[in-house]
Homo-oligomer: A and B are copies of this chain.
Amino acid sequence: MKQAKIRVGLVQHHYSHDAEYNRNRNYTAIETLAAMGADLVVLSELHDTTYFCQAENVDNFDIAHGVDEDNEVIGLYRRYAKINNIVLVTSFFERRAAGMYHNTAVVIDRDGSIAGRYRKMHIPDDPAYYEKFYFTPGDLGFEPIETSIGRLGVCVCWDQWYPEAARIMALRGADILIYPTAIGWESTDALSEKERQLDAWITVQRGHAVANGLPVVAVNRVGYESDPSGVTNGITFWGSSFVAGPQGEFLHKSSCDTEDTPLVEVDMGRVEQVRRWWPFLRDRRIDEYGPILKRFLD
What is A's interface to B at a CB cutoff of 8 Å?
121-124, 126, 137, 141-142, 158, 161-168, 171-173, 196-197, 199-200, 203-204, 206-208, 210-211, 247-249, 277-281, 283-286, 288-298
For residue A207, which residue of chain B has the nearest CB?
A: B207
Distance from A7 Cβ to chain B, minimum over Cβ atoms (Å): 22
Asked if A137 meets B285 with Cβ closer than 8 Å, knowing A196-B247, A207-B203, the reply is yes
How many identical chains are in the complex?
A: 2
Chain B: CB-nearest residue to A158 = B283
Q: What separation, in Å, do the CA atoms of A124 and B164 have in the docked complex?
A: 22
Contact among B162, B172, B278, B290 for A211, CB-based, below 8 A? B162
Q: Least Cβ distance of A200 to chain B in Å?
A: 4
Complex contacts, A297 vs chain B, CB 8 Å: 168, 171-173
Q: Complex Cα distance A281/B211, Å?
A: 20
Nearest residue, chain B, Cβ from A197:
B247
Within the complex, which residue of B124, B196, B203, B294 is in contact with A171, where a contact is CB–CB below 8 Å?
A: B294
Whether the pair B199, A204 counts as a contact (CB closer than 8 A) is no
Task: Indicate which residue in B167, B199, B295 contacts A292 across the interface (CB closer than 8 Å).
Answer: B167
Known: A247-B200, A284-B295. A277 touches B126 (CB 8 A): yes
B200 and A204 form a contact (CB under 8 A): no
Closest to A193 in B: B247
Q: Given B168, B206, B278, B290, which contacts A207 in the complex, CB threshold below 8 Å?
A: B206
Q: Ordered nearest first, which 5 A-B pairs have the shortest CB separation? A: A207-B207, A163-B163, A173-B298, A204-B210, A200-B247
CB-CB nearest in chain B for A250: B199
27 A-B pairs (CB sep. < 8 Å): A121-B285, A137-B285, A161-B210, A161-B278, A162-B211, A162-B284, A163-B167, A163-B211, A164-B289, A164-B292, A165-B285, A168-B292, A168-B297, A171-B291, A172-B291, A196-B247, A200-B247, A200-B248, A203-B206, A204-B210, A204-B248, A206-B207, A207-B210, A281-B296, A286-B292, A289-B292, A290-B293
- Interface contact B200-A210, CB-CB below 8 Å: yes
Question: Contact partner of A204 among B141, B161, B207, B293, CB < 8 A?
Answer: B207
Residues of B within 8 A of A247 (CB): 196-197, 199-200
